Every structure is written in structure tokens, then in C-alpha cells.
Amino acid sequence: MKYYFSILFLLLSQNISAENVLNRGNGSEPDSLNIHLAEGLNSHNVLRDIYEGLMTLDVNGKPIYGAAISHTVENNTWTFSLRKKAKWSDGTQLTAHDFVRGWQQAVDPKTAAPYAFLLNNIIHAKKILGMKLTPDSLAVKALDDYTLQINLWQQDSAFLEKLTLPIFYPVAKTSTGNHLIISNGAFVLTDWMIQEKIILERNNHYYAKESVFYDKVTYWVTEDQSSELKRFRAGELEITESIPDSQINWIKQNLPEELHISPYLGSFFLGLNISDKNLNNQKLRQALSLAINREILTDKVLKTGQEPAYHIVPRSLRNNKAVDSIFNSTTQNKERALKLLKESNIKADDLTIEILYNNSENQRKVAIAIAAMWRQTLGIKAKLLNQEWKVFVHSRKSKQRQAFRSGWIADYADALSFLELFMSDSRFNFYHYKNQQFDALIDQIRTTNQLNLKNQLIEDAENLLLHDMPVIPLYYYVSRHLVNKHISGYTDNVADRHLSRYLFKKED
């Protein structure tokens, strides 16, 4: 008995029970925690907690200084001064050389970084990616340990926002890979149990560690939204990745304080592989689009505030706010869809289109609804196929795919963040879309500083996409989360980015 009380006293004296742990739902298993290879939002959520770029995000999702403390711009030359207190999680000093190393790796063709195109405005980046120059030619250099200089081709009003993205993070000289990551953010990765959870602990070498409330953050893999809701109700999660749309009425009635639904800078669309022997028919693609009733999809199927989408670029980033004229009344759309199907010379009875989606209750409902609309309006059958997220990420790139769930959340608040996806050489062009006229328009948008001309070029580029239809716009996203009412520091924002370092628990 004496031994028992001694152990109990020791545990209490170490304050073990006082450890603060935040449990967050994170959707599917992250595709990667390599800053250069990660694609999915669930990967980026974790990376934002364990890394920090020159710029980071505030509670409103806006860029603020991170590893940098100031910057100047002169003739497209950006110079950043770094924090001398910034360190890596192993205690070594963070320097400007670490950013040079990370960015050179990002543009190295051997890395095959999907987001490398975001560095294209840095002088020589395109030539390096095209294997015409070596990575050390990139116009980024350390003037000294705490001063980084970057030379851009042209002005970029979104550059500071881009610098918050993982592709712009630094790389430690002694970096060791996914499971033993040396990082420089508020937290450090301590465990990764595949298909279960990712565990982070507070980084004791972080320059602002005193402001970080949670000792530990656990990101739980939660692909099924209904299961996630159950875990939230049981107190196993403080924040959910999403909600089951089918239970929105119950949630609104029973968890009104915990429900967060907010505008989100993103578009959801159905991807089409236009190299497919049937889907390479433009009139068929247009018929498939017109056969989908977006209002039914958002109001009856999803029911959580999504808006019908007839464009790819969200309304807030478009100068032209009007709905595209090809979408009139439901009756007219059906008539036009049948007319286009006839003009395509494809017989509905001879066609079955596969719709691929990732494991998700909400995605399954959308796929079922689209399949029903195609069958009812056009007589075209659909075959539904679902895959685990990491498998889906690779599978959608195959030329064997036909239709698949797709979409995009803006990396930065500019129409280019959406339009660049469809360039012939884009790593995110899973639709095998190639149009030289479209590519030329994007190059013009990138190089113009005249706002009126830029807006017109954006409209021209999107109209070309809507005509060629490599994807079918369906709806504009809203972010949907449940947040425990005892959590403070959580602020809804259009980027839907919520760093764990800002969150804390209210005292009862």
C-alpha cells in the first residue's frame, strides 16, 4: 500500500493528468507529409502545424510573418529578414540557407513536386523544371544566415499568401523523412499510425512556444462522416473534419452552438477524362452537364448551404457575376441536353460511364444523384466506384478513368489558382485537357498588371473552359465543422485554415 501511494504521489507531482490534448478529425489518410509531395487538404492541415514558412497564417487565415520578421520589395526583388530565435525541432538554428535548400528541391525535376508550378515566377524556375538549368540556378539566395533574397520575373500581389503554403517551407540540413521529420513549426510529429491517427507534440524549440496551449494534437483519420459525428458526440473529438449532410437538421436542432458553416473559397466539379473514347465528344460532355440539376443537388441532396455552380472560378473571384447563359430553366436544360446527345451521335443504350469517388458518405450521395439524373434525362447508365483516398489520388490520374469527383480549394485568393489547373502542363490536369489558346490566355493573365484587361482575360479563359468542358461545375463549397463549445481561438474564414497553435480550451 505504501508503494502504491508513492507511485500515485509521483504521478501527481509530475502533473501528468494536466496534459492538454486536442483531438481533431482530419478526413482521409494524408497522401504524404513530405512538404514537396503532399497534395490533399488533410496533409496540409498537419504540415501547417509542424512547419512554418517565411509567412504563416493568423486566426482569420490571412498571411502574417512566420519565420520572417520583415521584408522589402524593390524592382521585383524581395528581401526577407529572418527571426534569429527561430530554430528547428532538434534545436539547430533555422537559417536562410534552409529556405534556399527547400526551394531548390521543390523545383528539382527529380522531386516531381505537384505544386512546383507555384515557384514559376521566380527567375529560372521554369527552365529548371524543364531540365534546361540545374536547381542551384534558382534566383533565391542567402545574403547571410538571416537574410533571404528572391528575384521574381514580374509583380505578384499574392506572393505573401503563397509563401504560407507547404511548397515554400524550408528543409533542414539533417532532414530524415516522413516518420522522423525535423520541422520548425509549433508542433513536431511524434507518431503516425497509418489509417488511424497522427500525433503531434508541442515543439519546445519553437520561438513562440509560450503562446501554444496544447501539449499534444492528435489528427484522427475519419473518412466516414457519420462515424465522426458519433465520436464528436462521445467527446472523442473536439473538432470534426466535416459533417454528414444527411443529418444536418438533427445537428442544427441539437448542436447549434457547435455547428460552424461558413463560405469557403472553393469549387466542386465532376472531372471528365477527355481522352476517353466517348468523353472526348464535346457535345456529349455538354449534354452530361445540362442533365444535372444543381439546385436539387445543393438543396435536396447536400442541404448545408452549398451554392449551385455554373462556373469553375468562385463568384467572389470573378468580375462577371452573371450565371452562364446556357443554363436556363430545368425544362430547357433537359431539352438542350437531349438535343446535344443526339448531335453527339452516341446512343445512350450503348454507353455506361464510370463515376469514381473517394470513400465518403457525402461523395457517395452526390455520385448517386448524378447517376440518377443522367439516367432519367438522357437514358445513360452510370457505374459507381469508390476508393480509399490515397488510392483515389493516384487512380484519378489514369487515362483509364472516365468521370471522377474533383474540385479545388484556392491556394491563394486569385482566379489563377483555379485556371492554372487546366494548363496543358499542369500536374493537376487529371482531365488530359490541352488547348493552346487557353494556355496563351493564362500566360497573358500572368503577365498583365492592368486590372480591367486581367478581368477580361479571366472571363475569356473561363468561357473557353465552359465551352470545352473538361470538368462539370456542380457547386461552390462551404466549410462544415463541429467545434466543441469549450474551444476558443477557432475563427471561421474563407480559407478554412485553423492552426492548432491558436486554439485553447476555455476554463469552466
Complete DSSP assignment for 406-424 = EEEE-SSSSTHHHHGGGST
Residue with cell 459507381: 384
> What are the grid coordinates assigned to 474, written together?
456542380
Residue with cell 493573365: 445
Residue with cell 441536353: 337
Distance in angstroms (rounded) separating the CA atoms of residues 103 and 203: 23
Distance in angstroms (rounded) separating the CA atoms of residues 214 and 391: 33
Helix segments in 51-202, DSSP class H: 96-107, 125-129, 159-162
Question: Are the CB atoms for 288 and 374 separated by under 8 Å?
Answer: yes
Residues counted in the chain: 508
- pLDDT (0 to 100) of residue 272: 97
DSSP lists the bridge partners of residue 358 as 387
Spatial neighbors of 463 by CB under 8 A, at least 6 apart, are none
Distance in angstroms (rounded) separating the CA atoms of residues 298 and 508: 39
- pLDDT (0 to 100) of residue 17: 46
Spatial neighbors of 257 by CB under 8 A, at least 6 apart, are 485
Question: Are the CB atoms for 340 and 347 separated by under 8 Å?
Answer: no
- Tell me the CA end-to-end span of the chain in Å, nearest whole number: 35
> What are the grid coordinates assigned to 419, written together?
485556371
Distance in angstroms (rounded) separating the CA atoms of residues 304 and 480: 8
Delimit the CATH 3.90.76.10 region(s) of the chain.
22-213+483-505
> What are the grid coordinates assigned to 437, written together?
489558346
284: helix, strand or coil:
helix
Strands (E), 320-402: 352-358, 381-387
Delimit the CATH 3.10.105.10 region(s) of the chain.
266-477
In tens digits, what is the pLDDT along the chain, a chain of 508 residues?
443 434 333 333 344 446 899 999 999 999 999 999 999 899 999 999 999 999 999 999 999 999 999 999 999 999 999 999 999 999 999 999 999 999 999 999 999 999 999 999 999 999 999 999 999 999 999 999 999 999 999 999 899 999 999 999 999 987 554 456 899 999 999 999 999 999 999 999 999 999 999 999 999 998 889 999 999 999 999 999 999 988 999 999 999 999 999 989 999 999 999 999 999 999 999 999 999 999 999 999 999 999 999 999 998 887 655 444 455 455 678 899 999 999 999 999 999 999 999 988 889 999 999 999 999 999 999 999 999 988 998 899 888 899 999 999 999 989 999 999 999 999 899 999 999 999 999 999 988 888 889 899 999 999 999 999 999 999 999 999 999 999 999 999 999 999 999 999 987 6
Distance in angstroms (rounded) separating the CA atoms of residues 339 and 206: 63
Helix axes 282-290, 361-378, angle to 10 degrees: 110
> What are the grid coordinates assigned to 54, written together?
517565411
81: helix, strand or coil:
strand
User: What fold characterizes domain 22-213+483-505?
Assistant: Dipeptide-binding Protein; domain 1 (3.90.76)
Distance in angstroms (rounded) separating the CA atoms of residues 421 and 440: 14
Task: Name the residue among 160, 342, 161, 356 with its Cα closest to residue 276.
Answer: 356
Distance in angstroms (rounded) separating the CA atoms of residues 438 and 479: 31
Residue with cell 484556392: 410
Question: Are the CB atoms for 94 and 87 separated by under 8 Å?
Answer: yes
Distance in angstroms (rounded) separating the CA atoms of residues 124 and 438: 23
> What are the grid coordinates assigned to 504, written together?
485553447
Q: What is the DSSP letter of 34?
A: -
- pLDDT (0 to 100) of residue 19: 86
- pLDDT (0 to 100) of residue 468: 95
Distance in angstroms (rounded) separating the CA atoms of residues 419 and 169: 24
Task: Name the residue among 482, 495, 26, 490 with its Cα closest to residue 261.
Answer: 482
> What is the C-alpha radius of gyration for the chain, rounded to an integer number of angstroms?
24
Distance in angstroms (rounded) separating the CA atoms of residues 343 and 318: 32
Rounded to 5°, the CA angle 53-56-61 comes to 145
User: What fold characterizes domain 266-477?
Assistant: Dipeptide-binding Protein; domain 3 (3.10.105)
Distance in angstroms (rounded) separating the CA atoms of residues 96 and 82: 7
Element (H, E) at 394: helix 389-395
Q: Are strands 381-387 and 352-358 parallel, antiparallel or unpaired?
A: parallel
Question: Are the CB atoms for 14 and 226 separated by under 8 Å?
Answer: no
> What are the grid coordinates assigned to 1, written together?
500500500
381: helix, strand or coil:
strand
Per-residue CA distances from 12 to 9, 152, 216, 257, 462 (Å): 5, 56, 19, 35, 63
